[in-house]
A and B are shown apart, each in its own frame.
Chain A
Amino acid sequence: MSEVMSNGVMSEVMSAEALMPSKKLSARGWMRANLFNRWYNAVLTLILALVIAYLGFRSIRYLFWTAEWEPVRANLTLFMIGSFPRDEQWRVVVQLLLLAAAFGVIWGSMIGASRDRAAQSGSPFSAEPGWVALRRWWGLVLLLGVLLLAAWGILPLVLAFGCIALIFMLRRIAMRLASKVRIYAWFGGYVLLIASWQIVSGTGGSAWFWAAGLLAFWGIRTVRKKDLTPRLPLTLVAIVGGGAVAWAIYTFILNGLINFSGVGWDNWSGFHLNLIAATISIIAAFPLGLILALGRRSSLPAIRWLCVTYIELIRGVPLIGLLFIGNSLLGFFIDNDPFIDFFLDTPLSQISRAIVIMSLFTAAYLAEVIRGGLEATPRGQTEAGQSVGLSPWQITSRIVMPQTLRASIPAIVGQFISLLKDSSLLSIIAVSEILRVRASVHSQGAFTTLGTAETLVFIAFAFWAFAFTWSRESQRLEKHLGVGER
């Protein structure tokens, strides 16, 4: 340091740096250098300080003194799960625990996988400690804190900390697994996810579908691991065969044996429904969006125009209009259709229709997001693939798509966030999601006029906590995957 200071030029640089905020300055010095360095800046600082202080004072006074939180506190369960049957509530509790377990396993496996990749390519890797992640998710943690405070009981507290403990315990175990057994961890995570779904919905109808997924997963893995060729047809066989076998087992062998009836999703409501509807919609929309994006770039005019028409039609209509259309029109198309009746035991309920519409809507937007990613992949990548003799399909699936999806992740998460917020529109077609629940809260005698603003603030806060956390996560993922740097 003294060497640097002895150099005349360097010491001048140092004195210029002294104007910048740095640890060397005291708080007083920093303020003098940055906030009060000119008379007009001092005036501005004072005015702004007054405005901020006033707003802060009013907000704090509102949040902690004048606001009527009683409607929120008294109806917390209603906001969260709405009209979900109360004697089946344990299912939601188990679902939360299963979700936490799945999350822990998958998270840990992801860390383990990237550690392996780093080790392979010889770059340094250090797993982020769990509490850093918790700090990053402060929005959700805050929501959890508010909920626990409002619920004020031992059971919610035990559940919350049980979930957190489960996440971090399983994460710790999963991230230490050797790479050879990691595949079973992924598998386990998948099973846990399905179980978390089935525990609430029951095994009726859709169980064979999930089993098909499992069998297909196993089949695809075998094809990959054993390096069987031709790969694509065999993979398709694995998927279709897995589905057929699962369906046969379910229908002919297990039918009646496993008849674990749950609460169908038509009885779901509250914020629980918002989250589930958004999740199902994004999962269903993703493959459709992918197909639409590829179709829009197809060299066959018929396919291209079909996709363009679909995308532009859907994007040109507001979601609320589509929801109304779905509510009244969709029934004409699919009720009493023998093909659809084969898959569905009962006619589509209102919620199912709404979810179908939301999926179709989101698919059009996802298609555009993915198309953007496709077009952003440099032409040289395709040419390099062509020059080694890859087929157009191989170029798309092996070279272009992986890069595209990686580059599209932030935008896809963005779609998911807006889908979650859009799920509040379901209230307009009389689906009892959280906003609809709020209306019923205020129809109770005690709360007709009390705290109508506060319930809205609470709902907004719940949406914000999820949206904010996801958006931060997607930014992190973007950096992590090295999007934008080649």
Chain B
Amino acid sequence: MTKIDPDADNGANRGKAGRAMIDFESVNKFFGNFQALKDINLAIDEREVVVVLGPSGSGKSTLIRCVNKLETHDSGRITVDGVELTNDMRGIRHVRRNTGMVFQQFNLFPHLTVIDNITLGPRQVRRMPKAEAEDLAVSLLERVHIPEQARKYPGQLSGGQQQRVAIARSLAMEPKVMLFDEPTSALDPEMIKEVLDVMKELAVTGITMIVVTHEMGFAREVAQRVVFMDEGEIVESNTPDEFFENPQEDRAKLFLSQIL
């Protein structure tokens, strides 16, 4: 796989040349009368790191929750790694197996130890033998820098540690895509860095990542592309340098002026 040059293409039509890992085509999503996503067209390449920005209520979370069908889109097509998301349960589970997700509230399983949290997916879904799954879990815990916490329960860990366990839990399925839904928003400031560091290390491994966040520093440093959303629409999609230095749309300018 060749490294994607972030400056090659700025438009929403990216991915036509390379292989699109995730492809949104005219996707609409409603909650009752409220339209959460309006005609979303977005293609994300394999190995690409995309940060989704936007004010709260702009549909960022809904967008990435549609990728593994935690939310169901009402019209349009979403394709993940060549599999279109329909009502077919097998297709959905195939996509979920290959898609890791990290939540704002960690959502660790409180009744299981850290290592059991991580091995649950591999053992249940991939039918991995226990010993192998635990070896995998230990190596992942080393990767997120907390191997010593393996036998503790989530409640015994700090927020930052819990979120890193959640990242390890997602990685245990060896996903092709990682989705981060505001992973640092529920953390105390001193713990944000340890989680972002793990995410940065992950970004250079070449995994496809979509990150919804308010961490502008992270977006500038790690993202290959910034997608700015407002009121359910993709307003602007650009390289981080271009987006932060020279935003094109008024709404993006307003957002940046409020946040920076």
Which residues of A are interface residues toward B (Cβ below 8 A)? Answer: 120-123, 227, 229-230, 378, 380-381, 383-384, 386-391, 394, 398-399, 402-403, 406, 482, 485-486
Contact = CB atoms under 8 A, between A and B. Distances in A.
Interface string B109-134: 11101000000110011010110000
Given A387-B170, A388-B120, A388-B169, A403 B152 contact: no
The 10 nearest A-B residue pairs measured at CB: A388-B121, A389-B97, A384-B107, A387-B101, A380-B107, A389-B96, A120-B151, A389-B125, A121-B152, A402-B111
Contacts of A391: 93
Contacts of A386: 68, 70, 96
Given A387-B170, A389-B96, A389-B121, A485 B107 contact: no
Nearest to A230: B127
14 contacts: A121-B113, A227-B129, A378-B107, A381-B107, A381-B109, A387-B103, A387-B170, A389-B93, A394-B125, A398-B124, A403-B111, A406-B111, A482-B155, A486-B155
B120 A123 contact: no
A390 B70 CA distance: 13
Nearest to B97: A389
A383 B121 contact: no
B107 A383 contact: yes
Interface residues of B, number: 34
Nearest to B121: A388
A384 B70 CA distance: 10
B100 interface: yes
Contacts of B237: none
B153 interface: yes
A20 B68 CA distance: 58
B213 interface: no
Nearest to A482: B155
B187 to A, nearest CB: 16
Given A384-B107, A388-B120, 12 more contacts: A120-B151, A121-B156, A229-B127, A380-B107, A384-B108, A386-B70, A387-B103, A387-B170, A388-B100, A389-B93, A389-B121, A394-B124
B70 A387 contact: yes
Contacts of A378: 105, 107
B226 interface: no
A383 B107 CA distance: 8
B21 interface: no
B113 A390 contact: no
A388 B125 contact: yes
B62 interface: no
B138 interface: no
B96 to A, nearest CB: 4
Q: Which of A386, A389, A485 has most chain B Cβ within 10 Å?
A: A389
Nearest to B109: A399
Contact of A122 (B151, B155, B170, B172): B151
